[in-house]
Amino acid sequence: MPLDQNRTEATQEDRNEVQVFHSACPHDCPSTCALEVERLDPQTIGRVRGASQNTYTSGVICAKVARYAERVHHPDRLTKPLRRIGAKGIGREAFEEISWDEALDVVAANLIRAAEAHGPETVWPYYYAGTMGLVQRDGINRLRNVMGYSRQHSTFCNTLADAGWMAGAGSKKGVDPREMAESDLIVIWGCNPVSTQVNVMTHAARARKNRGAKLVVVDPYVTETAKQADIHLMPHPGTDGALACAVMHVLFRDGHADRDYLEKYTAGYAELERHLVSRSPEWAEAITGIPAGEIEAFATLYGQTKRSYLRLGFGFTRSRNGAVQMFSASCLPAVTGAWQYPGGGALYSNAGIYEIDKTLIEGSDAVDSRTRVLDQSRIGPILTGDKRDLGDGPPITALFIQNTNPVNVAPDLGKVRAGFLRDDLFVCVHEQFLTETAQMADIVLPATTFLEHDDIYVAGGHTHLQVTRAVIAPVGEARSNHWVLGELAKRLGAMHPAFEMSAWDLMDATLKRSGYADAQTIWEGHWEDRVEAFDDAHFLNGFGHSDARFHFMPDWSQIGGNHAGMPTLPDHYDVIDAREDEHPFRLVTAPSRNYLNTSFTETATSRKREGRPEAQIHPEVCTQMGLEAGDEVRIGNQQGSVVVHVRPTAGLRRSTVIVESVWPNSAFVEGIGINLLVSAEAGQPNGGAVFHDTAVWLKQA
Ligand SMILES: Nc1nc2c(c(=O)[nH]1)N[C@H]1C(S)=C(S)[C@@H](COP(=O)(O)OP(=O)(O)OC[C@H]3O[C@@H](n4cnc5c(=O)[nH]c(N)nc54)[C@H](O)[C@@H]3O)O[C@H]1N2
Ligand SMILES: Nc1nc2c(c(=O)[nH]1)N[C@H]1C(S)=C(S)[C@@H](COP(=O)(O)OP(=O)(O)OC[C@H]3O[C@@H](n4cnc5c(=O)[nH]c(N)nc54)[C@H](O)[C@@H]3O)O[C@H]1N2
Ligand code: SF4
Ligand SMILES: [Mo]
């Protein structure tokens, strides 16, 4: 049993026998914090703290995970399998408890029946990153691949950002975030770490304290992160490409470009320099709304500071032009040569450094490349039969869902909801809580949390791989994703060695075949730091492309098929959902601080701190429209309209509206959430949801 082995490392805190266990935060957050979890007894956890020994986490975690006991031991945790006997979407009263055997038999029978009627592609195992553990998150792909079910292009989150970063740098890695402590200028671009990855602020604070480093934030509104900045640049959403070009215009114009570096490490800089001549700060002001003088001042500071660190987030990539936005910003350190210096360069994600062989976990040896691939963000159009997605293939008639809550988080919610309400659709949801997606299910299965199962975690935001074991016994009859997949495999006749293995053995085998130490060894040490040597992390041994250079003229066709019209150099790519007379505002649905996507929307303390869904609107716009704080406002576009309460906020441009997310639909005045307005159109060149790219109108409700 994992618990007995875990006990060997527990430190006896006091005579109450409170024991402290190592764990790692599984939530979909780049910080992947190393945790110390108090166990009060074999069923119960106490406080959760950040591991002080881990030099990235450095003892700091967000408030919502510090009070994780509230979530693990929540009275609304699902503890038994449920069968729906009432209407969809009305809540717990529509369900009755059943046994695990019965539940699994019903699920298997329905998947078999659907596949017999329409072929296996009619089944869509649908998942995302509710847990980031490799075994519990990605194991669903093994069932999919062995059974020939529809494949999934996972596009909720990092597809656009990845495309943009890979275009220039060619490798998904960057400078160790701990090196921020050695920077003189930290630029937090399109992310809000005070809310979304708190540890970035720890390391930025060190640089400010030790070196007097300046902090610049690029964000369309005054976030809690922007409040801490020395300079806050406030672009119209979706215009960062123009900002980046104007900064580079100044860098070349004023002699801040490092020509030796450009010659040695980059390709296309002569074309870039010519192209930038017309991209002046005045040109960018007209597009971004940022005064040319502010752009000049930032560009000069950036150009004069060798140790400049860009922390590039996801926020500015959640837009139709998101890949070009990320690519354009990522060009800056290649122009100044900041990559050469300690504390200099950039980080978007370090996901590329771990090199885990997931063949066993995902059953990638069983993939049939002819099986269709469906875009997860287009679940609304897909469930409502859009031929652009389905072609001549079968409709989706069965969904098996783990680790995601699409009825809240997916774009084009009207279609998502209509799809889930179809009578001919069988839905099984494996969840920790009766989310609004689970409420649409025919069968609901109770899931363990990370404190009740074993797993491996890598991190985009730092360089540690972590191995964890269950700290407490499963709550009620909750079972892990891995266990459920194994039980379904038996009933479906799915054959793969990993279905026969325990999660721990699968972790161990995966680590070994990836060239790591065994699971036990890493678990005993809590983590393995995969930090690269300076020259590798700073790309001084070359960038990721075959010519080892940073590309100012990317080949977008290498990244995705939908590349027509994309600019050949960094630029403002004008394909966003533009403001016009009918839709004079741009809506950004940025993450809220006390929720993590929709996780924690079930906990009372998070809900209390967040209050209710609100639209942040410029006070002058409120006055013009006769809106006061707390009034209801209707926000709409061609997809529909949503009613929320008004919060007048001076910290944004008049044409920007912010609705922090992701709330359950039921929290909104009319029972439908903000993603009703978000388009399911896929960003270029490789897809990606466009959560912050929506032109809207406002009306008094
Ligand atoms: N408006 C708006 N919409 C957005 C975004 C936005 O910024 N604005 N952000 C988008 C982004 S970036 C993302 S990543 C998506 C994320 O959206 P979701 O994928 O829905 O996000 P999570 O809340 O992280 O996780 C979903 C569920 O996983 C469950 N879960 C956690 N661990 C386990 C487990 O071990 N087993 C099982 N079976 N279930 C588990 C949790 O209980 C939770 O309900 O939302 C997107 N939607
Ligand atoms: N508390 C909390 N933490 C989270 C999450 C959460 O929901 N809540 N979600 C988790 C997940 S799944 C993810 S992917 C990460 C996301 O973490 P981030 O990268 O921080 O989040 P984003 O949605 O990408 O938005 C970040 C910021 O981008 C800004 N933004 C939007 N459009 C633009 C633009 O065009 N230009 C610029 N410069 N900025 C823009 C928004 O106003 C917002 O302040 O956070 C994770 N951590
Ligand atoms: S900051 Fe992110 S990784 Fe760290 S505890 Fe909070 S949600 Fe988890
Ligand atoms: Mo995400």
Residue-wise pLDDT for 536-567, tens only, equals 999 999 999 999 999 999 999 999 999 999 99
Whole-number pLDDT of residue 8: 42
- The reply to whether ligand 3 has any atom less than 6 angstroms from the CB of 444 is no
Tell me the angle at which helices 481-492 and 503-513 cross, rounded to the nearest 10 degrees.
100
Question: d(Cα 226, Cα 150) in Å, to the nearest integer?
Answer: 42
- Give the residue ranges of DSSP H helices in 34-155: 63-66, 69-72, 100-118, 134-138, 140-147
CB 244 within 8 Å of CB 329 = yes
- The reply to whether ligand 3 has any atom less than 6 angstroms from the CB of 194 is no
Residue nearest to atom 6 of ligand 3 (CA): 62
From edge to edge, which strands make up the β-sheet containing 398-402? 95-97, 82-84, 443-446, 426-431, 398-402, 123-127
Residue nearest to atom 46 of ligand 1 (CA): 409
437 Cα nearest atom in ligand 1:
44
- The reply to whether ligand 3 has any atom less than 6 angstroms from the CB of 132 is no
* Res 178 pLDDT > 80: yes
> Mean pLDDT score of the chain, rounded to an integer?
97
Residues in the chain, total:
701
Q: Which residue out of 128, 165, 195, 196 has the highest number of ligand 2 atoms within 8 Å of its CB and is therefore the one to mutate?
A: 196
- The reply to whether ligand 2 has any atom less than 6 angstroms from the CB of 289 is no
Q: Per-residue b/e over 217-246, b at no fewer than 16 CB within 10 Å?
A: bbbbbbbebbebbebbbbbbbbbbbbbbbb
Question: d(Cα 570, Cα 324) in Å, to the nearest integer?
Answer: 7
CB 152 within 8 Å of CB 124 = yes
- The reply to whether ligand 3 has any atom less than 6 angstroms from the CB of 198 is yes
- The reply to whether ligand 3 has any atom less than 6 angstroms from the CB of 588 is no
Give the three-class secondary structure for 626: coil
* Res 672 pLDDT > 50: yes
> Ligand 3 centroid to 57 CA: how many Å?
9
Nearest Cα neighbor of 144 from 391, 378, 405, 367 is 367
Lowest-confidence pick of 1-5, 66-70, 177-181, 329-333 = 1-5
Give the three-class secondary structure for 645: strand
> Ligand 4 centroid to 281 CA: how many Å?
32
Instruction: Name the DSSP letter for residue 396.
Output: P
Question: d(Cα 643, Cα 670) in Å, to the nearest integer?
Answer: 6
Extract the runs of DSSP E, i.e. beta strands, from 435-506. Answer: 443-446, 455-457, 464-468
Structure tokens at 572: 């403002």
- Give the residue ranges of DSSP H helices in 181-268: 193-196, 199-211, 224-227, 240-253, 259-265
Phi, psi of 462 (to 5 degrees): -145, -155
* Res 9 pLDDT > 70: no
193 Cα nearest atom in ligand 2:
20
Name residues whose C-beta falls within 8 Å of residue 58's C-beta, 6 or more positions apart in sequence. Answer: 50, 52, 199, 202
Residue nearest to atom 23 of ligand 2 (CA): 315
From the CA of 661, which ligand is nearest?
1
- The reply to whether ligand 2 has any atom less than 6 angstroms from the CB of 242 is no
Question: d(Cα 515, Cα 286) in Å, to the nearest integer?
Answer: 52
Q: Which amino acid belongs to residue 698?
A: L
658 Cα nearest atom in ligand 2:
42
> Ligand 1 centroid to 548 CA: how many Å?
36
Whole-number pLDDT of residue 16: 61
Tell me the angle at which helices 322-330 and 240-253 cross, rounded to the nearest 10 degrees.
20
* Res 118 pLDDT > 60: yes
Residue nearest to atom 8 of ligand 2 (CA): 596
Residue nearest to atom 34 of ligand 2 (CA): 316
Residue nearest to atom 4 of ligand 3 (CA): 33
50 Cα nearest atom in ligand 3:
5
Question: d(Cα 18, Cα 45) in Å, to the nearest integer?
Answer: 9
691 Cα nearest atom in ligand 2:
23
Name residues whose C-beta falls within 8 Å of residue 374's C-beta, 6 or more positions apart in sequence. Answer: 124, 150, 151, 152, 153, 382, 389, 396
User: pTM higher than 0.95, yes or no?
Assistant: yes
Nearest Cα neighbor of 130 from 430, 442, 377, 419 is 430
Phi, psi of 523 (to 5 degrees): -60, -40
Whole-number pLDDT of residue 6: 46
pLDDT digit string (tens) for 188-229?
999 999 999 999 999 999 999 999 999 999 999 999 999 999
> Ligand 4 centroid to 29 CA: how many Å?
7
CA distances from 323 to 159, 263, 326, 553, 571 (A): 8, 25, 5, 13, 11
> Ligand 2 centroid to 234 CA: how many Å?
15
From the CA of 596, which ligand is nearest?
2
Whole-number pLDDT of residue 12: 46
- The reply to whether ligand 3 has any atom less than 6 angstroms from the CB of 321 is no
Question: d(Cα 207, Cα 309) in Å, to the nearest integer?
Answer: 11
Q: What percent of the chain has pLDDT over 70?
A: 98
| Mean pLDDT, range 236-262, rounded to an integer | 98
- The reply to whether ligand 2 has any atom less than 6 angstroms from the CB of 596 is yes
Residue nearest to atom 3 of ligand 2 (CA): 196
Structure tokens at 538: 């700073």
Exposed/middle/buried for 206, CB within 10 Å: 0-12, 13-18, 19+? middle
Instruction: Name the DSSP letter for residue 682.
Output: P
CA distances from 656 to 586, 587, 651 (A): 5, 6, 10
* Res 3 pLDDT > 60: no
- Give the residue ranges of DSSP H helices in 514-568: 519-525, 534-537
- The reply to whether ligand 2 has any atom less than 6 angstroms from the CB of 235 is yes
- The Cβ of residue 83 has, within 10 Å, a number of other Cβ atoms equal to 16
- The reply to whether ligand 3 has any atom less than 6 angstroms from the CB of 29 is yes
* Res 577 pLDDT > 80: yes
Q: Per-residue b/e over 473-487, b at no fewer than 16 CB within 10 Å?
A: bbbeebbbbbbbbbb
CB 499 within 8 Å of CB 486 = yes
CA distances from 500 to 225, 366, 488, 489, 496 (A): 47, 16, 12, 9, 8
* Res 683 pLDDT > 80: yes
Structural domains for the chain: 82-154+354-448+476-500 (3.40.50.740), 160-351+537-558 (3.40.228.10), 585-700 (2.40.40.20)
CA distances from 290 to 285, 294, 578 (A): 5, 7, 17
Whole-number pLDDT of residue 135: 98
- The Cβ of residue 505 has, within 10 Å, a number of other Cβ atoms equal to 14
Exposed/middle/buried for 582, CB within 10 Å: 0-12, 13-18, 19+? exposed
- The reply to whether ligand 2 has any atom less than 6 angstroms from the CB of 469 is no
> Ligand 2 centroid to 589 CA: how many Å?
9
Nearest Cα neighbor of 176 from 40, 379, 353 is 353
Q: Which residue out of 22, 23, 28, 29 has the highest number of ligand 3 atoms within 8 Å of its CB and is therefore the one to mutate?
A: 29
Exposed/middle/buried for 413, CB within 10 Å: 0-12, 13-18, 19+? buried
Give the three-class secondary structure for 278: coil
pLDDT digit string (tens) for 397-449?
999 999 999 999 999 999 999 999 999 999 999 999 999 999 999 999 999 99
Task: Give, for 309, the enclosing helix (H) or strand (E).
Answer: strand 308-312
Residue ranges with CB less than 5 Å from ion ligand 4: 157
- The reply to whether ligand 2 has any atom less than 6 angstroms from the CB of 29 is yes
Whole-number pLDDT of residue 377: 98
Nearest Cα neighbor of 290 from 249, 239, 215, 234 is 234
Question: d(Cα 310, Cα 338) in Å, to the nearest integer?
Answer: 10
- Confidence class for position 17, pLDDT limits 50, 70, 90: confident
